[in-house]
Amino acid sequence: MSDQNVRNAGFTPAGIRGGSLGSSLMSREARASGGGVSSGGPTSTLQGMGAKGTTHSSGYTSSGISGGSLASSRMSSEATAHGGGVPRGGTTSTVQSISMGGKGGRR
């Protein structure tokens, strides 16, 4: 279900679908960073997963983040960088939210 949720949000093998949650996320991220989206950020992470269908194998599942996965490693790094918590609107929270069918974190 996670891969389908990512595609439903507009992250597809053909690219980010116009008018989708994905395009809105990309626009917000680009404005916040002065014009582009960063490698490893929410948009690029979700697009990579949408293109390849790798949500579950990366550890972002509909029941949460799998222990010992790429997702759990990313979550740990992000929490360490932010003093122990995963920030709302960051890569981990946004990707996990969309993987579960949500709207992603708001900045």
DSSP letter at 24 equals H
Handedness of CA 61, 81, 94, 14 (dihedral sign): negative
Helix then strand then coil, % of the chain, to nearest 5 = 50, 5, 40
Task: Check residue 107 and give its pLDDT.
Answer: 47
pLDDT in 10s for each residue of the chain, 107 residues: 578 889 999 999 999 999 999 999 999 999 988 988 888 888 988 998 888 887 778 888 888 899 999 899 989 999 999 898 888 888 888 888 888 888 776 54
In a domain, 3, yes or no: yes
DSSP letter at 86 equals P
In a domain, 35, yes or no: yes
In a domain, 38, yes or no: yes
- Our count of domains for the chain comes to 1
In this structure, are residues 11 and 51 in contact, taking their beta carbons and an 8 Å threshold? yes
Beta bridge partner(s), residue 16? 11
- Counting every residue written for the chain, the total comes to 107
Which domain range does residue 65 map to? 1-100
In a domain, 26, yes or no: yes
In a domain, 105, yes or no: no
In a domain, 107, yes or no: no
